[in-house]
Amino acid sequence: MDERDTKVIAFCGKGGAGKTSVCALVVKYLMEKQKKILAIDADPAAGLSWALGVNPAKTLDDLRQTLSESISNKKVQSNDELFALAHYELLSSLIENRGFDFLSVGRPEAEGCFCSINAFLRHCISTLVAHYDYVCIDGEAGLEQVNRRVLEKVTHLVIVSDTSKRSIAIAHNLIALAKQRTQTMHCGVIINKWGDSNCELKELPVLGLLPVSQTIAQFDAAGKSLIEISDDDAFYAKLKEVMKNFV
């Protein structure tokens, strides 16, 4: 695979704000642009796999355990052997779907120190993502778990918030933390489920306001992939407009 100028987009925010749905529909939008896409589910809740209609058999947590056992049992004798094993297992964990590839991080680490293995895995993943145009990561509430367990370099941070005071406060905190970490990352907030709210958005770098979507609720209830949502759907059309100006 050839190397590309990869844009890594992490989606974070309070649980229930809609970040997984937004992430899945951004994958759909990038598919329409015929870009090479890697979607990474970095939330232990594993909602992105459902939203994209994929069923991963192996996760990065499985790979982490395999590497740990191989080191403990001395099945690998050098860093070169470890890298070869990690690369093989990483590719075997990758799901090649129509229009995008998919990788699941899995559960949080079990007891024990995985710091060196996490660092090694981040190196392997960074080598892999260099061959994609876009990487979309459905993260946990904050960016630090993404940086620790998946990738250190994120080029774009999208914080998805609803209109509740708690969600807006979390968005403010995440923006402040992101600015402390780096000045080069593009950061923005999407306000989801806007409706007729009059919540205070001062000083937030708001990318756009998304309406309440009954379609997403119906798809979620039926267990249908959001990739199947109509291109004419009002929510999806608004999200495309927002992302077109951001990435």
pLDDT tens, position by position, 86-120: 888 888 899 999 899 999 988 765 555 556 667 77
Averaged pLDDT score across all residues of the chain: 88
Report the DSSP pairing between strands 134-138 and 37-41: parallel
For residue 117, tell me if it sits in a domain. no
Reply yes or no on whether the pLDDT at 212 is more than 70: yes
Residue 203 falls in which region: left (phi positive, over 0), alpha (psi -120 to 50) or beta: left
Distance separating alpha carbons of residues 121 and 145, to the nearest angstrom = 14
- The stretch 183-193 carries a mean pLDDT of 90
For residue 78, tell me if it sits in a domain. no
For residue 235, tell me if it sits in a domain. yes
Residues in Cβ contact with 54 at an 8 Å cutoff, skipping those fewer than 6 apart: 95, 97, 102
For residue 85, tell me if it sits in a domain. no
> Model confidence at 179, in pLDDT bands (50, 70, 90)?
confident
104 phi and psi angles, rounded to 5 deg: -110, 130
Lowest mean pLDDT among 25-39, 76-90, 124-138, 203-217: 76-90
- Sheet of 206-209, strands arranged across: 95-97, 100-104, 37-41, 134-138, 7-12, 156-161, 186-191, 206-209
Residue 5: other Cβ atoms inside 10 A: 7
The number of folded domains in the chain is 1
- Predicted TM-score (pTM) of the model is 0.90
**Which pLDDT score is estimated for 111?**
53
Reply yes or no on whether the pLDDT at 146 is more than 80: no
> Model confidence at 217, in pLDDT bands (50, 70, 90)?
very high
Residues in Cβ contact with 37 at an 8 Å cutoff, skipping those fewer than 6 apart: 27, 30, 31, 99, 100, 101, 132, 133, 134, 135, 136
Amino acid identity of residue 184, one-letter, is: T
- List the domain range (segments joined by +) for residue 227: 7-56+96-110+129-241
User: Which of 56, 25, 28, 26 has the alpha carbon at shortest distance from 42?
Assistant: 56
> Model confidence at 198, in pLDDT bands (50, 70, 90)?
confident
**Which pLDDT score is estimated for 109?**
55
Distance separating alpha carbons of residues 9 and 39, to the nearest angstrom = 10
> What CATH number does residue 35 fall under?
3.40.50.300
Distance separating alpha carbons of residues 240 and 229, to the nearest angstrom = 13
Reply yes or no on whether the pLDDT at 169 is more than 60: yes
For residue 48, tell me if it sits in a domain. yes
For residue 32, tell me if it sits in a domain. yes
For residue 123, tell me if it sits in a domain. no
Which has the higher per-residue pLDDT, 185 or 222?
222
For residue 160, tell me if it sits in a domain. yes
Reply yes or no on whether the pLDDT at 229 is more than 80: yes
**Which pLDDT score is estimated for 114?**
54
